[in-house]
């Protein structure tokens, strides 16, 4: 095919038609044509030549030019596209390195292969332009709901026509065993929009918790207006869900507003989610209160929260256990997702048994270590004493409130407790020295002999060893592995050491060794205090 006056205007008409059909800039199509013509010309004149094509946007005339760049003598590599300053003098008056010499060359005849290649280049450019336009159009719509039409299903994934492009609903993002046929209408949540070299860029979901939140926003005007806020959502897609809501207007009940007149609002969401049962729960800043609400319809007798471990113990009546756990653990799992806490559920009987076991263990501890009879040891436990340290170092008045305990008995009790603790400390210290612990660690303030012994048994024998430890290695912590929280046992966790205490001890050790400048620590603490103050001001505001 030769580029002649007969088909010059046809180029522009073709570009306009393709641009209108694909909803892209006609200039991009013309640029693709220029590139394809240049590629065809290179195959005719030589691939090493720098051939460029320019199509006039008004007449459609294609101008073929050969470009040569002036380079230093030693840099001359490609004779077809480069020339030295000396060679350029025959074409240019005062050539300098970097100048270009442009000369027009005759248009080329495009054979069948060249025409096919040109077509591929144009199609590729058009596809790239389409993808860019689609990305620009949808990148700001992530987190919203879109209506589309099912085009086809591929290996369980649904390809959805979203008007100006295609999106994909992966099979793991579908609810239960949803099945769609071509031309079915579908409503989805735009989960992600990414630039991809090929294939759909828009990823949809119907299982995301945010999908339910957005559906409620569409059905409940108070949520859209910001009077009611959705604080948390947990879903078992297609089966059951829990949603925590709070109202910023005391006159509006958040649960009632979301349920609607005769359940009309929540029913609209349930219908869209294939009959998924939804528990609407009043949200509370107090975590135990929120958890009691989240475990509905089960009744809760008692809640014990461990904020450091992000765990919570829930005690329920014996007959409520199966209801609290739910079918296949569903109820407690959703409540855990909703609150962000690990939940241990036990019956009142189990808790009573555990309390009895603890009572017996503490009673035996006092009997064995303080040489007391069972009745007297039980009195101590009943008054709230849990360990020897409390007995040894508590104010004597707290022992005198126990029936039958006078000053002489209290002094004797404390003396026995202190003697036993001192003997334990000496034994621990002797064992630590046998393991090779240096005095630098033994004399370090903040560590008891038992702590030093525990560190030595794990190979921490010098202050330098201690200073290289991480806070979680000492105090313990939690790690998420495959979606489940796993406990990391700390070397000093059994001594009730917190992460803050561990961090303080480690930094103190580093300062004493000269690894850290104390001034840096002070400035860090001031910055932290400043951030805390700012946070408090924001909350107050």
Q: By the 8 A CB rule, do 405 and 377 touch? A: no
Q: Look up residue 224 and give its two tokens.
A: 């859209």
Least confident range from 117-121, 348-352, 502-506: namely 117-121
Q: Does residue 395 carry a pLDDT above 60?
A: yes
- Rounded CA-CA distance 463/441 in Å is 5
| Residue 537: per-residue pLDDT | 40
From residue 86, alpha-carbon distances to 72, 81, 133 in Å are 10, 15, 48
283-340 pLDDT per residue, tens: 988 888 888 888 877 888 878 776 665 677 888 888 888 888 888 888 888 888 888 8
Phi-psi region of 323 (alpha: psi -120 to 50; beta: other; left: phi over 0): alpha
Position of tokens 């209408």?
185
2: confidence class by pLDDT, cuts 50, 70, 90: very low
Q: DSSP letters along 211-243, please? A: HHHHHHHHH-HHHHTTSEEEEEEEEETTTEEEE
When mean pLDDT is compared over 33-42, 371-380, 521-530, the highest value belongs to 371-380
Q: How many CB atoms lie within 10 A of CB 427?
A: 13
Position of tokens 């603890």?
358
For the whole model, what pTM was predicted? Answer: 0.57
The 3-state DSSP class for residue 434 equals: helix
Q: DSSP letters along 78-120, please? A: -TTTEEEHHHHTTT-SS--TT-EEEEE-PPPB--HHHHHHHHH
| Residue 541: per-residue pLDDT | 33
Read off φ and ψ for residue 447, nearest 5 degrees.
Answer: -110, 125
| Residue 58: per-residue pLDDT | 74
The 3-state DSSP class for residue 281 equals: strand
Segment (H or E) for 313: strand 311-316
The rounded Cα 467 to chain-centroid distance in angstroms is 31
Instruction: Report the pLDDT averaged over residues 81-85.
Output: 80
- Rounded CA-CA distance 278/13 in Å is 57
Q: By the 8 A CB rule, do 159 and 174 touch? A: no
Q: Which residues contact 89 (CB under 8 A, 6 or more apart)?
A: 95
Q: By the 8 A CB rule, do 387 and 361 touch? A: no
What's the full length of the chain, in residues?
Answer: 541
From residue 308, alpha-carbon distances to 167, 469, 498, 525 in Å are 43, 20, 8, 21
For residue 171, give the DSSP letter: G
| Residue 446: per-residue pLDDT | 87
The 3-state DSSP class for residue 255 equals: helix
Q: How many CB atoms lie within 10 A of CB 423?
A: 11
Q: Please name every residue paired with 50 in a beta bridge, in sequence order, or none if there are none.
A: 67
From residue 533, alpha-carbon distances to 31, 265, 525, 529, 540 in Å are 58, 42, 12, 6, 10
Q: By the 8 A CB rule, do 293 and 258 touch? A: no
Q: DSSP letters along 460-490, please? A: --SHHHHHT--HHHHH-EEEEETTEEEEE--
| Residue 355: per-residue pLDDT | 84
Segment (H or E) for 325: helix 321-325
Q: Look up residue 31 and give its two tokens.
A: 């640029």
In terms of pLDDT, which residue wins out, 504 or 44? 504
Q: Which residues contact 117 (CB under 8 A, 6 or more apart)?
A: 36, 39, 40, 43
Q: By the 8 A CB rule, do 180 and 274 touch? A: no
Least confident range from 54-68, 74-88, 526-540: namely 526-540
The 3-state DSSP class for residue 276 equals: coil
In terms of pLDDT, which residue wins out, 486 or 71? 71
- Rounded CA-CA distance 416/116 in Å is 99
401-427 pLDDT per residue, tens: 777 778 888 888 888 888 888 888 899
453-504 pLDDT per residue, tens: 989 898 989 989 998 988 888 888 777 666 666 777 888 888 888 888 888 8
In terms of pLDDT, which residue wins out, 20 or 541? 20
119: confidence class by pLDDT, cuts 50, 70, 90: low
Q: Does residue 159 carry a pLDDT above 80?
A: yes
Q: Please name every residue paired with 63 in a beta bridge, in sequence order, or none if there are none.
A: 54
| Residue 9: per-residue pLDDT | 63
| Residue 198: per-residue pLDDT | 67
Q: Give the percent of the chain with pLDDT over 70.
A: 86
């Amino acid at each position: 095919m030769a580029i002649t006056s007969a088909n010059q205007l046809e180029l522009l008409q073709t570009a306009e038609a393709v641009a209108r059909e694909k909803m892209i800039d006609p200039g991009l199509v013309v640029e693709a044509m220029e590139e394809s013509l240049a590629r065809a010309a290179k195959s005719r004149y030589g691939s090493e030549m720098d051939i460029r094509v320019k199509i006039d946007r008004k007449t459609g005339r294609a101008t073929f030019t050969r470009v040569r760049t002036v380079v230093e003598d030693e840099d001359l590599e490609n004779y077809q596209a480069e020339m030295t300053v000396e060679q350029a003098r025959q074409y240019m008056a005062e050539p300098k390195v970097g100048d270009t010499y442009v000369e027009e060359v005759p248009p080329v005849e495009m054979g069948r292969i060249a025409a096919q290649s040109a077509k591929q280049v144009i199609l590729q450019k058009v596809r790239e332009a389409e993808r860019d336009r689609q990305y620009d159009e949808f990148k700001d719509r992530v987190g919203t709901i879109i209506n589309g039409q099912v085009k086809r299903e591929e290996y369980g994934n649904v390809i959805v026509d979203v008007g100006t492009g295609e999106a994909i609903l992966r099979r793991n993002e579908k609810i239960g065993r949803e099945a769609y046929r071509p031309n079915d209408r579908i409503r989805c949540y735009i989960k992600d929009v990414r630039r991809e070299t090929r294939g759909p860029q828009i990823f949809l979901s119907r299982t995301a918790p945010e999908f339910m939140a957005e559906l409620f926003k569409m059905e409940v005007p108070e949520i859209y207006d910001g009077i009611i806020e959705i604080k948390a959502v947990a879903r078992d897609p297609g089966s059951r869900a829990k949603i925590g809501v709070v109202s910023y207007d005391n006159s509006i009940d958040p649960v009632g507003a979301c349920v609607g007149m005769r359940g009309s609002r929540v029913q609209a969401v349930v219908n869209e989610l294939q009959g998924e049962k939804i528990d609407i729960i009043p949200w509370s800043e107090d975590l135990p209160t929120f958890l009691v609400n989240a475990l509905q319809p089960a009744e809760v007798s008692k809640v014990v929260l461990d904020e450091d471990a992000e765990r919570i113990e829930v005690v329920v009546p014996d007959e409520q256990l199966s209801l609290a756990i739910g079918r296949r653990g569903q109820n407690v799992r959703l409540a855990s997702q909703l609150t962000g806490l690990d939940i241990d559920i036990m019956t009142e009987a189990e808790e009573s048994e555990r309390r009895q076991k603890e009572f017996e263990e503490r009673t035996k501890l006092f009997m064995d270590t303080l040489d007391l009879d069972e009745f007297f040891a039980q009195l101590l436990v009943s008054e709230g004493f849990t360990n020897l340290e409390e007995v040894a170092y508590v104010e004597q008045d707290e022992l005198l409130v126990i029936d039958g305990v006078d000053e002489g008995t209290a002094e004797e009790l404390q003396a026995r407790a202190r003697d036993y603790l001192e003997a334990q400390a000496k034994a621990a210290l002797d064992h630590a020295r046998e393991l090779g612990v240096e005095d630098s660690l033994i004399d370090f303030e903040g560590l008891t002999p038992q702590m030093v012994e525990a560190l030595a048994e794990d190979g921490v024998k010098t202050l330098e060893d201690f200073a290289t430890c991480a806070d979680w290695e000492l105090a313990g912590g939690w790690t998420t592995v495959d979606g489940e929280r796993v406990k990391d046992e700390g070397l000093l966790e059994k001594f009730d050491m917190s992460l803050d205490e561990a961090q303080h001890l480690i930094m103190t050790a580093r300062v004493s060794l000269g690894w850290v400048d104390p001034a840096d620590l002070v400035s860090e603490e001031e910055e932290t205090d400043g951030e805390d103050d700012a946070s408090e001001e924001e909350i107050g505001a």
